[in-house]
Structure 1
């Protein structure tokens, strides 16, 4: 009777096996630490825990759709950060660029969710313009990383997203609220375009290099096919 190969049989030489309980335990521990910190912060500020756990529209007795585009923008930032981390782990060639993109979009997701540059910063003596300047410098440095050795398609997507976010920042500084659709619309488009960056890189990876499969399906090391995928 033929025995079906187990996951252990498909493991390649030198590949490390991470027990499933470790990432599960790490995720639960991180969540518990966040909840414990939340309780401590609520006690420190003397406010109910619900202030931190309820949605802003519920606390302010606003319509359910209030701030929907802002929430969507934060979700896109978070998705871009998580996907960039995943693809960075899969592709050593792009690890530095995508790791930096994941960090930057993670910071932007936090800012959008907590309104750091709008309320938290100015309320504590940090002008909003400082946030804009810091993000501009960080974005420019990230752009240099992509221009210096990044994949052409991913670099083009990052450059387009950077331009859209620049338009959004400019309108945020000089325009009135009546044109907020331009400010928030270009920010959303820029975030979605940056979400395409790790997708483009992932589309250039060779699945056979990372997924189990018959050895015959894998390009030979040093072959023209392997070089083509490395340069894509």
Structure 2
């Protein structure tokens, strides 16, 4: 397999490259997030460190998952349960904490490949709620066929709800997926963005609030 190794530690990268090559893999190493994002499209498997110098690895993971279902294992020194959950919820297929044995890494890679990759994100998926049309692939929203300009996070919140229209998303889940921090649940950031969605579309029922539970996409009238 063509393995993209995203690791800024030269010594560890060299050791992993040797081990992966010994197991028959072709390894391309990226030490920075910008290079990882450029190379991810040509990889069969990605090993991603989270502590990168130019961008947090979780943001790299989210960006990769917007366009690719490539098998991916997070390989990091972050051991906190919160970090593990954030990695898995952001789209990692597995999460391996340093230090680890090479044999364990190889076994986990084989297990991920056996499970198969997730379906590719729908590139032409359009969700309609009444006269509101949400184009997930193009990141555009139309109301009565007129385009509506949303901020990046406003669209991200709406897209998260639109991908599974009948599913209720908790505040913590939305904050984790969109802001990358579920501990922001006490702030008003999410409320402000939901209010912005309702105001800009002129459709108060587009996002439904379920008190004490979370939010879901509204139903067509």
Give 1 or 2 for the bigger CA radius of gyration.
1
Where relative contact order (Cα < 8 A, 6+ residues apart) is larger, the structure is 1
Same fold (TM > 0.5): no
Larger helix fraction of residues: 1
